[in-house]
Amino acid sequence: MQVLISATLRGFFGKNAAFSTDADTIRGVLDALTGEYPDAKKVLFEEGGTLRSFIRIYAGEHDWTATEHWVKPLPPGKDVLLLPAIAGGAPAKSIIPDERRKAVSFDDAEIERFEKHFMLSEIGVKGQKRIKTARVVVIGAGALGAPVIQYLAAAGVGTIKVVDDDEVSLSNLQSQVIHSTRDLKRPKVASAKDTVRNINKTIVFEAEAVRLDAGNAAELIDGYDMVIDCTDNYKTRYLINDACGLCGIPLVFGAIYQYEGQVGVFHLNDGPCYRCAFPAPPPAGLVPTCAQGGAISPLPGIIGSIQANEALKLIIGIGEHLSGKLLIIDSLYLKSRIVEIKKNPSCPLCGTHPVITEVEDFDYEEFCGLKETEEEAVIEGFTPEELASRIENGDAMTIVDVREPHERAILRFPDAIVIPIGQLARRQNELDPEKDTIFICKEGKRSILAINTLREAGYKGSLYNLKGGIDAMKDIMFSHEGAWL
C-alpha cells in the first residue's frame, strides 16, 4: 500500500512524498505513519486524538476521512492520500442567461480576434457571445491571478473586476507574470489593468485596490456571474467562500504551495462549498502558506490556467467541470489526481441547517482552536529593537530558529540554534531553563505555535516570541556581524 503525502505535510514525514506499508485499513495506515514519524502526530491529530479538521484522507478518489471508514478493508490497488487544505459531470447549461447572450454582437475586429474560438464547435458564436457578456470577479492579482486575468482577457470576457490591495514588489516578479520591473511599488490592480489594456482594450476592467473583508465581501461580488479565488491565505478563502454561498455565485478555487496545486469549483448547482471540503483551516503557523513556503515559478501558471479553463467552460456551458471534485497536481513528481468532495449535510453554510446567514469576520486563532484561555499564560515577546539591544549587550539567552531549511539559507540569524517545531518536545533538554529562550520564524506565527508546544510538553523556562519574526528584523544591523541581518 502506497500512502501519498501532500507537499504541505512532507516536513513532518522526513520530506518523503510517499510511504509504503502493509496496513490494509486507514487506522492501520495512520498507526504505521505515526509509528515511523512520531512528530507527525501533532500535525495529524488534535490533543484528544481526533483527526484535525483541515486534513482529508482519500482511498483512490473516494473520501475516507470519516472515522467509521477507518476499520474497513481498503480497496485493493488504491493509494491512500493525505490531503490538507492549502485550497464533475457536464453542466446542464451555461451560467450566462440566453437573453444576455442574444443582446451582444461582434464587430469585424472581434471576429478576427476570436477566430480560433469560432472554429471550435463547442464554443462557436453562441459561446463567444456568452464570454463577451460574462462578468467575473478575480480576487488576488498575484501569482494565481496573473494567468487567470490574462487568459480571461485574451478569451474576451467582457467585464473583469480585480480585487487586491497590495503593491508590486521585486519578489513578486518571480511568479507574478502580469507585472514587470517598471511596475514596482505600483498597486497591483493598476499594473494588471495596464496589462489587460494591452491584451484587449474592449475589456471593461474594474480595479478595486481594497482588501477583501467581512464588511465588503458581499458588496464586491454581488451581481457578478462568477468569483475566482486567487488568494494566498486561509482566512480570506473562508470569507470568499461564505460570500459566494450567500450571494449564490459559483466559485472557482485555486491554491498552490511549493510544487503542488489544487483546483476546485464550489457553490454550483447545489454542489459542495469549500467548508464541506475543509471545515476549518490549519492552526496559524502549523502549515505554511504559499507566501511563507514559496512556489516554483511555473506552478501558478499551471494552476491559474486551469482555473481560467474551468471558468470559461462554466461560462460557455461545455465539458466536465470540477464541482464536487478537487484536482491535485504535483509538479515535482508529475502526478495528478481528482478526488471527490461531498456536500456536507452539517456544513454551517450550505448544509441542511445553515447557521451562517451573513459574511462575518472571525478570529483565526479562535476558529482553529488556538485561542488562549484564561488559564493559559500570555505569550510574551520582544520587538526587533528590544531583541537587537539584548544581543548587542551580550545578554545570556537562547535563540531558537524554527524556520524551514530553505528559509534559513536565504537569511540566517546569528548564533541561533535550529530545532523544528515537531522536535521541540523531545529535544527540550537542549534548552537551559535558567536562560530566556526566544523563538524566531518568518512572521512571528510559527514561533507562537512553538512556545505553546513546549508549554504543553511541560517545559518550565521563560519563553518569548520575536514579534513580527525575521521579516520585521531583517533591516537591523549587528556591529559584530558587519552586515545586515
Name the residue type at position 263: V
Task: Burial-class residue 176 by CB neighbours within 10 Å (0-12, 13-18, 19+).
Answer: buried
Q: How far is CA 474 from CA 123, 212, 466, in A?
A: 52, 28, 12
Name the residue type at position 31: D
Q: Is there a contact between 161 and 139 (Cβ–Cβ < 8 Å)? A: no
Three-state secondary structure of 415-460? CCEECCHHHCCCCHHHCCCCCEEEEECCCCCHHHHHHHHHHHCCCC
∠ CA 148-321-156, rounded to 5°: 35
Phi, psi (rounded to 5 degrees) for 196:
-65, -40
Name the residue type at position 420: P
User: 186: closest CA among 204, 161, 209?
Assistant: 209
Name the residue type at position 229: D
Residue-by-residue DSSP string for 165-202:
--B--GGGGGT-TT--GGGTTSBHHHHHHHHHHHH-TT
Distance CA 60, CA 77 (A): 8
Query: What is the side-by-side strand order in the sheet with 62-63?
Result: 18-20, 2-5, 80-84, 55-59, 62-63
Distance CA 24, CA 449 (A): 34
Task: For residue 116, give the 3-state DSSP assignment.
Answer: helix
The DSSP symbol for 255 reads E
> What sign has the CA pseudo-torsion 133, 141, 319, 107?
positive
User: 58: closest CA among 84, 20, 32?
Assistant: 84
Distance CA 70, CA 247 (A): 37
Q: How far is CA 412 from CA 408, 417, 430, in A?
A: 5, 11, 20
Give the β-pairing of 380-382 and 463-466: parallel
Instruction: Count H helices and E strands in the chain, helices first.
Output: 18, 20
Map grid coordinates 509504503 to a residue: 20
Catalytic residue numbers read 290, 441
